[in-house]
Chains A and B, each alone.
Chain A
Amino acid sequence: MNFKLVFRTIGFLILFETILMAFCLIPGFYFGENVKGLLMSVSIAGIVGVLLTVVFQKKQLTMNRKEGYLIVGIVWIVFSLIGSMPFLFTDSVDNFVDAFFESMSGFTTTGATIFADIEVLPKQIILWRSLMQWIGGMGIVVLTVAIIPMFGMGGMQLYTAEANGPAKDKIHPRIKDTASRLYLIYIACTVLEVILLMVGGNSFFESVILALSSLSSGGFSSQNASVMNMSPYTQYVVMFFMFISGVNFVVLYMAIRGNLRTVAKDDELKNYLLVIFCVSLVIILINLWKWGSFDDVELQLRTVVFQVISFLTTTGFVISDYSLLPSASMMMFFILTFFGACAGSTSGSIKIVRITVLLKNSYLAMKQILHPNAILTLRLNKKPISEKVISNVYAFIVMYILIFLLGALALTFFGHDFYTAFSSSALSISNVGIGFTSSGMLLEFSSFPAASKLLMTALMLIGRLEIFTILLLIMPSFWKK
């Protein structure tokens, strides 16, 4: 293992984080806040980054698989450790666990918060929370589309390994170029959302916060009530960009390039739209059946579709008190927590492409019972999927459910009731950030014991990095020469 290269790369990434952290000084100065805590964080992060880059200089820069896994695995932890400094040094939180929880929740784009009152926080901290999500979202897109497929794992393997659909066609043969094209789309979408939000009368600061949090499928808001009190126009804009955040960025690139025929053929995108449509329809029908009629049809439609997209893309914005809905509707939202949107998007959870493979394979298994001699092949985007990839999908889903259940079990040991433990485990591993308790919505976690918060940060990280990236690091064989 070339540790010099690992530390040097992490040093460079820390410097990148430092530069973005320094941007939070702008609202600090603009709104006349005390920025000493943030300056302290920037200087410490900068010193650590420069030291790692200088001390671990090495001419040989070829990275192998194991080093790639290690960097991917630990960079999220290092980023979260450094990201927790502004919370501590500005006295926004009084202990390390809370700061680390908020930071990990940001970088993993979970959006679970320990702050009961967000509106009293300094503007620099509100921006840093959203910026962490934006960095995390950008990292995940590049990681899943350009880097993880190199190692032969993750949801995108379905595309890269099997050579089908638009996503597999790497936008450009070189990973660096692929990454820069994805960054450009990500930045362009963010700028567009900021402009559209400002057109609707939102302040520049508010628009930036919403854009950073929605496009990264993060869900941190600058208001305690999330997006509940915002105008319908703002909610529609946020809803649209949440939807965009759930689309595979390679498919998005194809759409921007005008390659609409290829985009229209993408099975995962079709299924993504189908899930939004069907689940929204079912929830509206359940609500109608329970309440008899709606006072405001547009409001009902907007509320349900927004909340469905928010859960499906694992963003976690809240448009209304969803815990007041009928139990069946709440159960639908809970199930959506495990879906996730498209592979290669900023969303977390299992991902629609894996669920599609699972369901198609189950259907074929039943068909095989009826026609024992038939040769049945699972196809995605009209191309066959190999047994190896199907087995990877099964392994992923089994591990996902197992870790979710173990997480819920462990949370009950820390004193949480059945309802809260299940919900907290699900919202962490799927990076949704919002959940349910027996008495209503589960939106903030300051009252949780420190052990629960640390466990939840571990679940967030495991879920965000698609499980195997983290599990590989704890395998003894990974560390053998």
Chain B
Amino acid sequence: MRTKILLSVALALGIASLVLLILNAADQKTITILLVVGLVCVSVEYFASKKDSKGNEE
């Protein structure tokens, strides 16, 4: 569930930034913030799944 939510948010933010860039509808800083939040979601998911697999191993 966590994986789905985090990756969906990241995907949505990525697509939103791309659309905004193409339409020239937002300034650079806004798009950067969207992308950084998306990448933070990806990083959180990565470390959380790493923690999960460690837990499973133990």
Residue positions of A touching B, CB distance < 8 A: 12, 15, 18-19, 22, 25, 29, 34-36, 39-40, 42-44, 46-47, 49-51, 53-54, 57
20 further contact pairs, Cβ within 8 A, besides A18-B42, A46-B35: A12-B46, A19-B39, A19-B43, A22-B39, A29-B32, A35-B28, A39-B17, A39-B28, A39-B31, A40-B18, A42-B35, A43-B15, A43-B17, A46-B10, A46-B14, A46-B38, A47-B14, A50-B7, A50-B10, A50-B11
Give chain B nearest CB distance to A4 CB in angstroms.
Answer: 15
The interface bits of chain B over 38-58 (1 if a CB of A lies within 8 angstroms of the residue's CB, else 0) are 110011001000000000000
B46 lies within 8 A of A47 (CB): no
The 9 closest A-B pairs by CB, nearest first: A47-B14, A46-B14, A43-B17, A43-B18, A50-B11, A43-B14, A54-B7, A39-B31, A50-B10
> What's the minimum C-beta distance from B15 to chain A, rounded to whole angstroms?
6
- Which residues on A sit within 8 Å (CB–CB) of B17? 39, 43
A44: chain B residues at CB < 8 Å are: 18
For residue A51, which residues in chain B have a CB less than 8 angstroms away from its CB?
11
Q: Which residue of B lies closest to A28 (CB)?
A: B28
Flag B15-40 by CB within 8 Å of A: 1 or 0 each. Answer: 10110010000001101100110110
What is the bound-complex CA distance between A142 and B40, given in angstroms? 25
A-B CB contact pairs (8 Å), 8 listed: A29-B28, A36-B31, A39-B32, A43-B15, A43-B18, A46-B38, A50-B11, A50-B14
Interface of A: prevailing SS: helix
Task: Give the CA-CA distance A18 to B11 in the complex, in Å.
Answer: 13
- Are B28 and A22 touching (Cβ within 8 A)? no
Shortest distance between the CB of A46 and any CB in chain B (Å): 4
Cα-based distance from A43 to B11 in the complex (angstroms): 9
B-side contacts of A43, CB under 8 Å: 14-15, 17-18, 21, 31, 35
CA separation between A22 and B36, bound complex, in Å? 8
- In the bound assembly, the distance between CA atoms of A43 and B21 in angstroms comes to 10
Q: Chain B: which residue is nearest A49 at the CB level? A: B42
A19, B10: Cα distance in complex, Å: 12
The CA of A20 and the CA of B7, in the complex, are separated in Å by 18
CB distance from A365 to the nearest CB of B (A): 49
Question: Complex Cα distance A49/B21, Å?
Answer: 19
**B21 engages A54 (CB within 8 Å):** no
Cα distance, A35 to B29, chains bound together (Å)? 9
Decide yes or no: A47 and B42 within 8 Å by CB, A39-B31, A39-B32, A39-B35 being known contacts: no
For B21, the chain A residues whose CB sits under 8 A away are: 36, 39-40, 43
In the complex, how many angstroms separate the beta carbon of B47 from the nearest chain A beta carbon?
A: 12
Indicate whether A19 sits within 8 Å of B11 (C-beta atoms), given known contacts A39-B17, A39-B32.
no
Determine whether the beta carbon of B42 is less than 8 Å from that of A25.
no
CB of B39 to closest CB in A, whole Å: 5
A57 to B29, CA, bound (A): 33
A36 touches B28 (CB 8 A): yes
Give complex CA distance A34, B21 in Å.
12
Contacts of B10 in A (CB 8 A): 46, 50
Residues in B neighbouring A54, C-beta threshold 8 A? 4, 7-8, 11
Establish whether residues B32 and A25, one from each chain, have CB atoms under 8 Å apart when the complex forms: yes
Chain A residue contacts of B4, Cβ below 8 A: 54
A19:B42 contact, CB within 8 angstroms: yes
Name the CB-closest residue of B to A34: B28
Give the complex CA separation of A316 and B40 in angstroms: 36
Task: Decide: A18 near B39, CB < 8 A? Known: A35-B32, A50-B7, A53-B7.
Answer: yes
* B4, chain A: closest CB distance, angstroms: 8
* Chain A minimum-CB-distance residue to B28: A35
Partner of B46, one of A15, A25, A40, A46: A15
Bound state CA distance, A35 and B43, in angstroms? 23
A35 to B26, CA, bound (A): 13
Chain B residues, CB < 8 A from A53 = 7
Chain A residues, CB < 8 A from B3:
57
Bound-complex Cα distance A42 to B32 (A): 9
* Cβ–Cβ < 8 Å partners of B28 in chain A: 29, 34-36, 39
CB-based contact A15/B42 at 8 Å:
yes
A12 to B18, CA, bound (A): 20
Task: Assess the B18–A47 pair: CB atoms within 8 A.
Answer: yes
CA distance A35 to B35 in the complex (A): 13
B16 to chain A, nearest CB (A): 9
Question: A47 → chain B, closest Cβ, in Å?
Answer: 4
| CB-based nearest B residue for A16 | B46
Instruction: Please name all residues of chain B whose beta carbon is closer than 8 Å to the beta carbon of A29 when the two chains form the complex.
Output: 28-29, 32
- CB-CB < 8 A to A22: which residues of B? 35-36, 39
Q: How far is the CB of A172 from chain B (nearest CB, A)?
A: 16
Give the shortest distance, in Å, between B20 (CB) and chain A (any CB): 9
Smallest CB separation, B7 vs chain A (Å): 5
Which residue of chain B lies nearest to A18 when distances are taken between CB atoms in the complex?
Answer: B39
Q: Which residues of A contact B31 (CB under 8 A)?
A: 36, 39, 43
Residues of B within 8 A of A42 (CB): 35, 39
